[in-house]
Amino acid sequence: MTERQLPPVTELGMASLALIVIGGIYLSAHLPRHVPLGPAIGLLAASVLLLVGNMLALSRVRDFAWDRFFEVGKWSLLAYTAIAGMIEYAFLRDHIRGGALVVLTLSLVVFAVHVPMLVGFTVARYAGADDRVAA
Amino acid sequence: MVDTAISAPAVHPEPAHPAPLERPDFEIVPRRGLVLVGVAAVLLIVAIASNKLWPLTFFHVAGGAAWTIIDLFLGLVLGPIIGRMSIPARVEFTTRLMPKMVLIMPTVVTATLAAGWQLGLKTGNVFSSSPNHGWVVASYIVVGVMAVLALGLLEPANIAVLIELKKPRPRPEVIEHLMKRFIYCAGVLGLMQVATLVIMTKLASS
């Protein structure tokens, strides 16, 4: 099966998720001590950059099944927003405050946006020619 | 069940009338199964809110056992078998398996991790002062690798296969390509689960 040349959305998405996972492990590995936030902020910033880069790269693709992408992406976004909301609630119940809460909340935002994007992209890239429209 | 036709893989570049294969109709997310997922979620929340040792251990051990066994069995036993099946058999198997996986895997993973975290807080294993802390951090790393693989590769492939199968004429080459990704990924996750077994048995016995 021959595949079209598309930006490396999946690879960049996985790298972005890996960075926030490393940040989360770094923060939770220090519990309950005070943890320097510098490394976690750096990892989060790199993850956000990859997310933005991924969005830009994907938005430039022509002849792509955007209807499929948004159809699947919006339901995934709903599911992952609910999941991220529950995790956020657990953070608040566990009395996480201040900088650590901000870093973890923003990490959840990256997670809740990037995973649906990967699901939508994977579905749309294998859509038939009829589903594709020029950007 | 309503059966739908699906095109066989093309032997010639442009077959005039590809031979139709049968595939059963299905729901991408089985709605009846959502009730069971809801019940499991409510019980999990009750277990965490009660913060009692037995319910937390039950959800962590039962969920973890299901997660580990499914990953190992799918990746190392079923995967190679599916790879050797004929395309019609593979399509039928996929049609019946994948919608169930959409519900089962998130449920067992959520139960395992949420109950496990609460259990770690209760026993003190998640705190850096715990003598087991190194093993717990190792388990975070293993789960982190599995999460990135599952969220970045496995789940998108799963959903894409199901959406392809829902089309009036799904393309077997697309299904085969995505299923390969799914099975390889499940194999790697199966191997990661061996590491989880080592860590968790060490934690339980210390």
Per-residue pLDDT of A7-22, as tens digits, reads 999 999 999 999 999 9
Which residues, at least 6 apart from B164, have a Cβ–Cβ distance to it below 8 Å?
A126, B170, B171, B174, B175, B178
Domain that holds residue B153: 33-204
* B75 in a structural domain: yes
Tell me, yes or no, whether B16 lies in a domain: no
H or E element at residue B23: strand B20-24
3-state secondary structure of A36: coil
What is the tally of structural domains in chain B? Answer: 1
Say yes or no: B157 contacts chain A, CB-CB below 8 A: yes
Of B122, B115, B105, B108, nearest in space to B185 by CA:
B105
Q: How many C-beta atoms surround the C-beta of residue B7 within 10 A?
A: 18
What is this model's ipTM? 0.89
Does A50 contact chain B (CB < 8 Å)?
no
For residue B171, the tally of other CB atoms under 10 A from its CB is 17
Q: In this structure, is residue B28 part of a structural domain?
A: no
Domain residue ranges in chain A: 9-131
| B39-48 confidence digits (pLDDT tens) | 999 999 999 9
Nearest to B159 among A1, A25, A72 (CB): A72
Radius of gyration of chain A (CA): 17
Is the per-residue pLDDT at B1 higher than 60? Answer: no
Q: CB B159 to CB A76 under 8 A?
A: yes
Does B102 fall in a domain? yes
Residue B145 has pLDDT above 50, yes or no: yes
Q: Is the pLDDT of residue B6 over 50?
A: no
Is B159 a domain residue?
A: yes
